[in-house]
Amino acid sequence: MIEDRYLTPSQVMAHRYQNHPRPNWTIAILCFLVKELTHLGVETIIGYGAAGSINRTMKQGALALGAESLNSDGTSRTYLPERHRFSCDPALLDIAREVSERMKLEVHEAIAANIDGLFRETKTLVRELQAEGAQMVNLETSALYASAEICKARSTWLGFISDRLVQEEWESWDIDSSALSTQVSLICLGIVKQWVSAAACEVPYRNGSEETVHE
């Protein structure tokens, strides 16, 4: 039986998260948010988060941008089953490069892979993803790009490397990531500012093979 004191959503959130609501979104919920946002008229979506590195050169604490993402999870395959990889929007990628260079921050342009659940990366799966070119693993980049493409929105994903799994060694994500979060947030803010400024000036950006002016 449910206790009377937890009958409303706000009461549940206050109890479960101690007045700091931070629910863990699943891949399906992310796609739902993309569909909701685009239905409301949003045309550009920037994903933000953390990823685990499965590449020797991408160290814990590195900043990363999902230039591409493998179609490796069930949700993304549902949207575009014939695709092997997804790509971030090229115009947003160009702006991210400019912003990070201006801020003197090194951002690794990486190939991401999605999995369907936390802590489900077996040794065999990691080797398979590495063989396909994946350098980092998270829960959302592929689904973001797939659902955004279906909904005709531009998208990109930025984040930081919270942990790393190479061969038998795992570097835990038990680190202070506040500075990394701030850096990624500032890059995202810089992208938004430059994107809005370009749109106001009607500066053309290339979207795939077709040159368009952002409206």
Q: Please report, for the chain, the start and end positions of each structural domain, with discontinuous segments joined by +.
A: 41-201
If DSSP codes are grouped into helix, strand and coil, which group holds residue 145? helix
Residue 63: name the closest of 122, 3, 136, 123 by CA: 136
Topology, domain 41-201 = Rossmann fold (3.40.50)
The pLDDT, as a whole number, for residue 21 is 46
The pLDDT profile of the chain, 215 residues, written as one tens digit per residue, is 334 444 454 554 455 445 444 445 567 778 888 988 999 899 999 999 999 999 989 999 999 999 999 988 778 888 888 889 999 999 999 999 999 999 999 999 999 998 876 666 777 888 899 999 999 999 889 999 999 999 999 999 999 999 888 877 777 777 788 899 999 999 999 999 999 888 777 655 545 444 444 44
Q: How many helices (H) and strands (E) does the chain have?
A: 7, 9
- pLDDT at residue 25 in the model: 53
**144 neighbors 30 (Cβ within 8 angstroms):** yes
Q: What is the pLDDT, as a whole number, of residue 182?
A: 93
What pLDDT is attached to residue 106? 96
Angle subtended at Cα 100 by Cα 95 and Cα 103, rounded to the nearest 5 degrees: 125
In the chain, where do the E strands start and end? 44-53, 63-70, 85-87, 107-114, 136-138, 154-166, 169-171, 204-207, 210-213
The C-alpha atoms of residue 128 and residue 107 are separated, in whole angstroms, by 25
* Rounded Cα distance, 130 and 117, in Å: 18
Report pTM: 0.77
